Amino acid sequence: GAPATGAPEVAVVGAGLVGCLLACFLARRGHAVTLYERRPDPREAGAGRSRSINLAISERGIDALRRVGLDETVLKAALPMPGRMMHAPDGTLSFQPYSADGRRAINSISRSALNRTLLDAVDAFPGVRLRFRHRLTTLDPETGRMEFDTPGGPAAAVAPVIIGADGAGSAVRARLQTRPGFNLHQEYLDYGYKELTIPARAGDFALDPGALHIWPRGRSMMIALPNPDRSFTCTLFWPERELAELDTPAKVERAFAENYPDAHALIPDLAADYALNPIGHLVTVRCEPWTVLGRAAVVGLIGDAAHAIVPFYGQGANCGFEDCVELDRCLAETGDDYAAALLLYENRRKGNTDTIARLALDNFVEMRDKVASRAFLARKRAEHLLERALPGRYASRYELISFSTVPYAEVERRVTRQRRWAAVAALAAAGMSAWAGATLRNRLRPEEPGPPGRG
């Protein structure tokens, strides 16, 4: 039902993936939520079908969606990817399952379809008001006064609780940043990305849809995820300067023929597709505090606005969804006291989001370089062997990040512990085999004359 009179009033800025899911959680608590979004409603006729851009959703995201009853709807439109398919320069394919039993999968879903599903869910709560074409321009954290650019001119609103879910370039964060004591660290990768499409071929997928495809090339890398319309969305990562240097159709064609010959053959309008899409940038944002207590208002940050990360662990949205679960839990624990809940949520999440930010950067090196190496493949096989031999006792970092909801920082502690005892076990095994070898060698020396006096 509609929120009761006296229900907490909350303004959420940004109706992207995280803002929408947060609105669902808060509306379910009976709070009066207004969701402000700078874009028009993507479900409106004429909003145009945007290009299919997809993202991988895994257990953390699914767990959050499950809590608001949206997991099945979202997964119905998803394509499961139980492993990665590596494309060698000579076109050789090799498949590596993500999990020891080969059954667990990350899920390729359309970003815009997910956003629309979440907006429909938001609309189903009478307590939520959606305000599209409202771009936040300024905000006073002391009073909770916000100003927006709208098609009808400037508009203002006041709310006692404001949560910035407005993404990596957050306007809410920019307003907090001017205050003393607010620390902001942002780091651009010198890599940019380009999105390209491998269309369906004769009505079918041009590549195996049951995998996340990777072309690791050391200096550059490309990945491709399947779409329900049987196309694939490719994302090409390359040092930004070199991407910009591919400025004629001939240069683009040549670069692809050299580095990605098998994919080259599958993208008929490569040069046009390449020219169409802008170069995307990759940034990591760390800031604190996420919570600012003003005289008459409290302002918090969530999702990419609080912690934008690079996409190489496929965790950005998953992590933002997990933020919503934690904030909801903190509201329950504090009896819906937003100031206390936001501080508690920040306290519990910050170490975890710092950890996944670091792992996402580390994973870039792994994906563009190491996945192709024999040592890496051997390590993955050894990890899966251990996982099968010690179910529940040993789990790889990838499994814990993608297929569990163990907090990110706890995953790191667990991985360190596992490595330590695996090293001890390996040493012990080496010691045992040295001892066993020596014993065997002693036993197997019948030809040698025994010590005097023995048989």
CA triple 285-288-293, angle to 5 deg:
135
Query: Please, what is the minimum distance in Å from the beta carbon of residue 54 to ligand FAD?
Result: 7
Which one of the spans 9-17, 73-81, 246-254, 335-343 is the region binding ligand FAD (CB under 6 A)? 9-17
Q: Does 132 bind ligand FAD (CB under 6 A)?
A: no
In three-state secondary structure terms, 320 is helix
Query: Please, what is the minimum distance in Å from the beta carbon of residue 173 to ligand FAD?
Result: 10
Residues in contact with 50: Cβ distance below 8 Å, sequence separation at least 6, in sequence order:
42, 112
End-to-end CA distance of the chain: 95
Helical H segments across 294-373, by residue range: 304-307, 316-333, 338-368
Choose which of 82, 127, 141, 167 interacts with ligand FAD (CB under 6 A): 167
Per-residue contact track with ligand FAD, 15 to 54, x per CB under 6 A? xxxxx----------------xxxx---------------
Which one of the spans 165-173, 326-334, 417-425, 428-436 is the region binding ligand FAD (CB under 6 A)? 165-173
Per-residue contact track with ligand FAD, 409 to 428, x per CB under 6 A? --------------------
Query: Please, what is the minimum distance in Å from the beta carbon of residue 115 to ligand FAD?
Result: 8
Query: Please, what is the minimum distance in Å from the beta carbon of residue 1 to ligand FAD?
Result: 27
CA–centroid distance for 381 within its chain = 24
Query: Please, what is the minimum distance in Å from the beta carbon of residue 427 to ligand FAD?
Result: 38
15 with 117: CB under 8 angstroms?
no
CA triple 297-301-303, angle to 5 deg:
155
Choose which of 304, 322, 326, 383 interacts with ligand FAD (CB under 6 A): 304
Q: Which helix (H) or strand (E) covers residue 104, if one does?
A: none
Give the count of alpha carbons within 13 A of 389, CB side only: 7
Query: How far apart are alpha carbons 85 and 224 in whole angstroms?
Result: 10
- Residue from 162, 130, 125, 131 nearest 145 by CA: 162
Query: How far apart are alpha carbons 165 and 303 in whole angstroms?
Result: 6
Per-residue contact track with ligand FAD, 181 to 220, x per CB under 6 A? ------------x---------------------------
Which one of the spans 309-317, 397-405, 410-418, 423-431 is the region binding ligand FAD (CB under 6 A)? 309-317
List interacting residues with ligand FAD (CB under 6 A): 13-19, 36-39, 55-56, 135-136, 165-167, 171, 193, 235, 280, 303-305, 311, 314-318, 320
